[in-house]
Structure 1
Amino acid sequence: MNSLTERIVKPDMSDVTDNILKKARLMVGQAVDKDRNEGKARILIAGKTGVGKSTLLNAIFSEDLAKVGVGQPVTQEITEFERENFPLIIADSKGLEGEDYEEIVDDLKSYVEQSIRTGDEKDAVHFAWYCVAGDGARYEEGEANIVQILSEAGIPVVVIITKGRIFRGDSFREDSKEAKLRDYILEKSGTFIKDIVLVRSEAEEDEDDDGNIIFKKPKGLDTLIQATERHLAQGKQNAFIQALNVRNETALRLKEDAAREVVNWATAAATAAAAAPLPGSDMLSLSPIQSIMLYKIGNHYGVKTEGTNWKNVIMAVAAPLLTGMVARSVVGGFFKLVPVGGTIVGGIISGTSAGFVTKMIGESYIDVLNAMAREAIAKGDSVNITPELAFNNLAEVIRRKKKDK
Structure 2
Amino acid sequence: MAKPTDEWFGQAFGKAWKDKAEEIGRFNLAIFGKTGVGKSTLVNAIFGAEIAQTGIGEPVTRAEHLYLHQSGTLGVLDTRGLEVGKDNDALLSELRDYLHGMRRKPLADQIHVAWYCVRAGDRRFEATEADFVRALADLGLPVILVLTQVQRGAGGRVHPDAEALAASIAALDLPIQDGLIHYTMALADDFTGQTAYGLQEVLDATFRGAPDGVAHAITAAQRIDFDRKRERAEVAVKAATTAATAAGASPIPFSDAAILVPLQIGMMASIAVTYGISVERSTAASIAATAAATTAGRSVVTNMIKFVPGAGTAVAAPISATVAGTFTYAMGQAWIRVCERLARGELGLVGGALDGDTVHRIFMEEFKTSASRRKISS
TM-score (normalised: structure 1): 0.75
Match of 1:361 among 325, 328, 331: 331
Aligned 8 A contact 2:145 2:176 in 1: no
- Aligned-partner SS, 1:223: helix
Mapped to 2, the partners of 1:389 and 1:101 lie a distance apart of 55
**1:290 counterpart = 2:264:** yes
**Residue in 2 aligned with 1:327?**
302
Which letter maps to 1:76? E
Q: Give the corresponding residue for 2:89.
A: 102
Residue 217 (structure 1) aligned with residue 217 (structure 2): no
Q: Deviation string for 1:354-379 (max 9, x for gaps)?
A: 221111111122233334555739x9
Q: Describe the superposition over 1:83-104 as per-residue Cα deviations: whole angstroms up to 9, x where unpaired.
A: 3xx1111001245345433212
Gaps of 5+ in 2: none
Q: Where in structure 2 are the equivalents of 1:125-204 lying within 5 Å?
A: 125-166=111-152, 173=158, 176-194=160-178, 195-204=180-189
Q: Which of these residues, 253, 270, 293, is aligned with residue 227 of structure 2?
A: 253
- Contact 1:126–1:155 under 8 Å retained in 2: yes
Bigger share in strand: 1
Contact 1:372 1:385 in 2 (8 A): no
CA, structure 1 residues 220+277, in 2 after alignment: closer, same or farther (shift >3 Å)?
farther
Q: 1:38 to 1:257 in 2, by over 3 A?
A: closer
- 2:103 counterpart of 1:124: no
Partner SS state of residue 171, structure 2: helix
Letter of the aligned partner of 2:221 in structure 1? A
Equivalent residue number for residue 17 of structure 1? none
Is the 2:73–2:217 contact (alpha carbons within 8 Å) kept by the matching residues of 1? yes
**CA 1:264–1:399 in structure 2 vs 1: closer, same or farther (change >3 Å)?**
closer
What secondary structure sits across from 1:302 in the alignment?
A: coil
Residues 283-333 of structure 1 deviation map (CA, whole Å, 9 limit, x = unaligned): 56311111111111122223223594878754531441441x4329xxxxx
Q: Which amino acid aligns with 1:102?
A: D
Alignment match, 1:209: none
Q: Quote how far apart the aligned CAs of 1:28 are.
A: 6.5
Question: What is the identity, as a one-letter code, of the residue corresponding to 1:42?
Answer: N
Cα distance 1:273–1:196, how it changes in 2: closer, same or farther (>3 A)?
farther
**Count of paired positions:** 360
Specify whether residues 52 and 261 from structure 1 end up closer, same or farther in structure 2 by C-alpha distance, changes over 3 A only: same
Instruction: Go from structure 1 to structure 2 and tell me whether the alpha carbon gap of 1:399 and 1:146 turns closer, same or farther (over 3 Å shift).
Output: closer
- Contact (CA 8 Å) 1:27, 1:288: kept in 2 or not? no
Tell me how far apart the structure 2 counterparts of residues 256 and 385 of structure 1 sit (CA, whole Å). Answer: 26
- Cα RMSD over matched residues? 3.7
8 Å Cα contact 1:267/1:359 also seen in 2: yes
Normalised by the length of structure 2, the TM-score is 0.80
Deviations 1:89-124 (A, max 9, x none): 1001245345433212222222222222x3432321
Aligned partner letter, 1:355: G
SS, match of residue 151 in structure 2: coil
CA contact (8 A) 2:35 2:83 kept: yes
Q: Which runs of 5+ in 1 are unaligned?
A: 11-20, 206-212, 329-336
Distance 1:156 1:81 in 2: 20
Query: Does the 8 Å contact 1:271/1:354 carry over to 2?
Result: yes
Q: Percent same amino acid among aligned pairs?
A: 27
Residue 340 of structure 1 corresponds to which residue in structure 2?
307
Is the CA contact 1:369–1:390 (under 8 Å) kept in the aligned structure 2?
A: no
Which 10-residue stretch deviates more, 352-361 or 89-98?
89-98
Counterpart residue number, 2:36: 50
The one-letter code sitting in structure 2 at the alignment partner of 1:392 is H
Q: Are the aligned partners of 2:150 and 2:185 in contact in 1 as well (CA < 8 Å)?
A: yes
Aligned position for 1:114: 101
Whether the 8 Å contact between 1:256 and 1:366 is mirrored in structure 2 is: yes
